[in-house]
Amino acid sequence: MIGEEAATDTFLTQQEPPHMLILSERVGGCMLRRSFGILGVILALFPNRVIEWYEQVAFADRGESSPKTWLSPAIRAKGVVFIFASLTGGILYRGLLFGTGVAGILAFLFPKQYLKTGIKVAYTHSGDVVWKPLFITIARILGGCYAIAAFKSVRKQLKGN
């Protein structure tokens, strides 16, 4: 019995072998790439549904505003870029993460201004839009998550992994 307890204690205090740590890092990075890929498929296949969902979640009152005609094709194109970057990796994927990180930092630090700028670019009569108060907080949280994911990716690249 004493030998079994000692063996169990030794097992619990051992660190994972280096090859397992590398594997777990790869799986984490792969999951992020898959997430971008899945998001890309949704954006590419259902851009109008994405707009409708966004309006339901974000707007308390849309007023007279409406999406500009180029918004749906732009969302579809963004989806295609996400899919391609997720499948190929490399510099395109790193650029996607960098851009997402920059946008995330801006959304985290200045959520109202970030949303106001986005709505001015994408909607007619953007001044009519009234945001749901909770959505501003959601934009800040998502921005923080995007920034952290990009930071971790850059840090990992600088370490040479």
- The pLDDT tens digits for 53-85 are 999 999 999 999 999 999 999 999 999 999 999
Nearest to 93 by CA among 136, 154, 9, 51: 154
Q: For the chain, what are the domain ranges?
A: 22-159
**pLDDT value of position 118:** 94
Kindly report, residue by residue over 104-153, the tens digit of the pLDDT.
999 999 999 999 999 999 999 999 999 998 999 999 999 999 899 888 87
Q: Which residues contact 156 (CB under 8 A, 6 or more apart)?
A: 25, 29
Span 87-111, mean pLDDT? 91
**pLDDT value of position 11:** 40
d(CA 142, CA 135): 10
d(CA 130, CA 59): 6
The residue ranking higher by pLDDT, 2 or 70, is 70
